[in-house]
């Protein structure tokens, strides 16, 4: 979702002798198209090789072109990089999420439990939730007025998604700073469910079970999958998933979204005049710069050369820029007709917070444009996106006026 990038020759991906990773023999599964020339050329670098984290896209191009399925021994996973294959793998019941992937809203809860969340955040947004998110976005944007320079990541992107999740769950607004601190210290990591937030949520669960409201926590407490209420442990686990996704995945996605628009002031001006383009701009940013570049899966049975129990890495960062699926894939274009929808998962692993994330992004952008009409990148070097599995700008210096 930005202008085409020319990769200098100095960033050529290092290679290993072809003999180090022979092409698999035997029957091929749905993620193993004929190897063609790749069976006779040097195998690609590993995701863990020096330079990959700084800029993974040269390696992604190599993988898509010659190694659509390859075992990355140092990384410990089979890599899938083409759009069609990644989309199929994310929805494949033979590939399971490896445990409670809270940052992506995956794993953990069975289908009936996920349905309880989807009922409140699936295809509608309560007016109270929308108003609360918009109000918070304006408060955060207003705090930047009159400043010579500010960091949108630290002062806006890391706060707004957490505040939106707090509002969605019906938690006290004054507790946002407390929840934000939990999110910043690892709530979005695997197994990030911690005793401190359990103890914080329990009294709120008791009150919702006695007097439910119209918030997500009430919906979870009132849910009766199979005719029985969800246990407290399940409700708190789902609430932690929502909070973790907000403080991790959505915060990173929001940072990339604003960076893409600030890097393309002409497209940002279009959205000033046509606010209805904000949703398309968000979807395009998720395609070009997904907050999660790599989503792991575990093979429940052999799939072609992939053995049972093996880890499969779905490379969303590579799939989103597949030239077989997207024209001029490195370019950021708010008018792209079909940017795809991989960033928040597909099928049974679709992230439950995707709608809340979009609401947060659109409300945040509207508030920034309304309160800070002269918002622009600060002069000086532009910080690059960082991270291999999770990737986004860690800072976003801007001039608010």
Percent of the chain with pLDDT over 70: 80
pLDDT, tens only, 271-313: 999 999 999 999 999 999 999 999 999 999 999 999 999 999 9
Q: If you average pLDDT over residues 240-250, what whole number do you get?
A: 89
Q: If you average pLDDT over residues 138-152, what whole number do you get?
A: 96
Confidence at residue 115, expressed as pLDDT on a 0 to 100 scale: 61
Give the dihedral sign, CA 288/293/295/299: positive
pLDDT at 182 over 90: no
Q: Are strands 77-80 and 69-72 parallel, antiparallel or unpaired?
A: antiparallel
pLDDT, tens only, 28-83: 456 755 543 444 557 789 999 999 999 999 999 999 999 999 999 999 999 999 99
For the question of whether the overall pTM of this predicted structure is more than 0.95, the answer is no
pLDDT at 207 over 60: yes
Confidence at residue 37, expressed as pLDDT on a 0 to 100 scale: 42
Percent of the chain with pLDDT over 90: 61
Confidence at residue 398, expressed as pLDDT on a 0 to 100 scale: 97
Confidence at residue 118, expressed as pLDDT on a 0 to 100 scale: 61
The residue with greater pLDDT, 137 or 115, is 137
- Tell me how far apart the alpha carbons of residues 132 and 201 are, in angstroms, rounded to a whole number: 20
Q: If you average pLDDT over residues 381-395, what whole number do you get?
A: 94
pLDDT at 110 over 90: no
Per-residue confidence band for 10, with pLDDT thresholds at 50, 70 and 90: very low
CA proximity to 215, closest of 239, 188, 182, 194: 239
Share the mean pLDDT of the chain: 83
Q: Which two tokens stand for residue 171?
A: 């938690």
Confidence at residue 43, expressed as pLDDT on a 0 to 100 scale: 78
Confidence at residue 370, expressed as pLDDT on a 0 to 100 scale: 96
- Tell me how far apart the alpha carbons of residues 325 and 98 are, in angstroms, rounded to a whole number: 28
| Alpha-carbon distances, residue 23 vs 62, 65, 74, 329, 340 (angstroms) | 15, 15, 17, 28, 30
Confidence at residue 134, expressed as pLDDT on a 0 to 100 scale: 94
For every residue of 202-268, DSSP letters joined together read HHHHHHHHHS--SSHHHHHHH--GGGSPPPHHHHHHHHHHHHHHIIIIIHHHHHHHHHHHHH-HHHH
- Tell me how far apart the alpha carbons of residues 80 and 315 are, in angstroms, rounded to a whole number: 6
Confidence at residue 244, expressed as pLDDT on a 0 to 100 scale: 86
pLDDT at 331 over 50: yes
């Amino acid at each position: 979702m930005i202008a085409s990038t020319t990769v200098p020759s100095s960033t050529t991906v290092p290679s290993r002798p072809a003999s180090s990773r022979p092409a698999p023999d035997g029957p091929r599964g749905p993620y193993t198209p004929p190897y063609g020339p790749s069976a006779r050329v040097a195998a690609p670098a590993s995701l863990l090789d020096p330079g990959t984290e700084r800029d993974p896209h040269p390696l992604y191009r190599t993988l898509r072109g010659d190694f659509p399925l390859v075992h990355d021994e140092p990384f410990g996973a089979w890599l899938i990089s083409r759009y069609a294959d990644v989309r199929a793998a994310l929805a494949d019941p033979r590939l399971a999420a490896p445990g409670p992937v809270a940052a992506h809203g995956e794993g953990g809860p069975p289908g009936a439990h996920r349905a309880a969340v989807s009922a409140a955040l699936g295809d509608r947004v309560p007016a109270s939730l929308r108003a609360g998110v918009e109000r918070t976005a304006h408060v955060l944007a207003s705090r930047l007025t009159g400043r010579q320079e500010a960091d949108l990541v630290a002062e806006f992107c890391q706060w707004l998604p957490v505040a939106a999740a707090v509002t969605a769950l019906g938690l006290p607004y004054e507790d946002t700073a407390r929840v934000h601190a939990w999110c910043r210290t690892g709530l979005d990591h695997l197994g990030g469910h911690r005793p401190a937030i359990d103890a914080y949520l329990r009294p709120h669960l008791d009150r919702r079970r006695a007097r439910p409201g119209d918030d997500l926590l009430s919906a979870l407490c009132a849910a009766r999958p199979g005719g029985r209420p969800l246990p407290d442990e399940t409700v708190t686990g789902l609430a932690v998933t929502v909070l973790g996704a907000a403080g991790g995945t959505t915060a990173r996605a929001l940072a990339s979204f604003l960076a893409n628009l600030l890097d393309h002031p002409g497209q940002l001006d279009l959205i000033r005049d046509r606010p209805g383009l904000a949703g398309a701009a968000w979807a395009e940013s998720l395609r070009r710069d997904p907050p999660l570049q790599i989503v792991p899966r575990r093979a429940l049975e052999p799939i072609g050369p992939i053995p049972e129990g093996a880890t499969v890495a779905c490379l969303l960062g590579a799939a989103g820029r597949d030239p077989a699926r997207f024209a001029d894939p490195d370019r950021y274009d708010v008018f792209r007709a079909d940017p795809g929808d991989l960033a928040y998962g597909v099928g049974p692993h679709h992230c439950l917070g995707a709608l809340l994330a979009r609401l947060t992004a659109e409300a945040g952008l509207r508030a920034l444009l309304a309160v800070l009409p002269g918002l622009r990148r600060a002069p000086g070097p532009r910080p690059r996106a960082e991270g291999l599995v999770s990737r986004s700008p860690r800072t976003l210096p801007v001039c608010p006026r």
